[in-house]
Each structure stands twice: as structure tokens, then as C-alpha cells.
Amino acid sequence: MRLVVGTPLALVLDREEVAYVEAEDATGRFGILPGHADFLTVLAVSVLSWRDTGGREGHLAVRGGVLRVAGGQRVEVATRQAVGEETLEALGPKVLETLRAEVEAQAEARTTMARLELSLVRNLRDYLQMTAGAPLVRRHRRAAPAVPPEGET
């Protein structure tokens, strides 16, 4: 069986000879073996695990997504984000590291937005102070020509 996991930005995993896939949706954890019936489900934020025909395991933490079994020989997962490791013990710290990096990036983005907003307010204030002494020029809109009601001319 083939397991393919992708995010909007990258192909995270493309593994051949997968013997077993375990995932989780709103109803709980479930397993997929080769020959499984076609299937489509929405994944929960969870850990997706697999084992290949050689007995090696792998794990991906997924931020929700959609899982599809096609033809009993292909499992496809589309997710917003995936972080992977070979063992569950290694996955925990890696997920934590990824989440910390995201929090830092979000904090930096908020700081940048606050600085931009402050700069905009200052520039607007300076502009209004500079033009406060200048005479106001008003533009008058032209009135639309009156259209007489039908039948009157």
C-alpha cells in the first residue's frame, strides 16, 4: 500500500510498501490495511502512525485534514500541517519545538503589525497637523440631472 501525506506547501511523506496505517477522526482511532474499502474521513488533530512491510514504524502529528483510501492500495492525507518522526518519543519534542517556533513567529507578526499601525497613526496625525492651517478645499459633487417621470416632458 502507498501512503502519501501533503500540506498546502509541501509533500511531507510518500512511502511505498506500507502494511498498516492508523489515524483518528471524530469517531475515534481506526486502522487501515491493504485492500481496505474506499473511504473518506475528516481527521482530528492527532497522530497518524504507519508500519511498513519491514516492520519499521513512523509517526506524524497532523493538524486535522482529510484522509482518503483509494482502491485499497493508496492512502492519501491532506492536512494543514504535519510534523513527523520515526518514534513517538522523538515526535513529542519535535512537535513542541515546531509549536514554539510558530508562537514566536506569530508574536513577531503581531509586533510588526502593531508597529505598522502606530506608524500609520503618527503619519496621519502629522498630515492632519500640517494641513490644519491650510484652507479647506471642498469639492462639490455635480447633481445628477433630474429625469422627469414617464409621460411628462
DSSP 82-99: EEEESSHHHHHHHHHHHH
Could you tell me if residue 149 is inside a domain?
no
39 in helix, strand or coil? strand
Could you tell me if residue 108 is inside a domain?
no
Could you tell me if residue 102 is inside a domain?
no
Distance CA 111, CA 117 (A): 10
Domain count, the chain: 1
135 in helix, strand or coil? coil
Nearest to 43 by CA among 51, 52, 32: 32
Could you tell me if residue 135 is inside a domain?
no
Return the CATH number at 11.
2.60.15.10
Could you tell me if residue 25 is inside a domain?
yes
What pLDDT sits at residue 8? 92
Could you tell me if residue 153 is inside a domain?
no
Sign of CA dihedral 50, 75, 54, 84: negative
Q: Per-residue pLDDT tens for 119-128?
A: 999 998 888 8
The range of the structural domain enclosing residue 21 comes to 2-87
Task: Using a cut of 0.95, tell me whether the model's pTM lies above it.
Answer: no
| Whether pLDDT at 76 is above 80 | yes
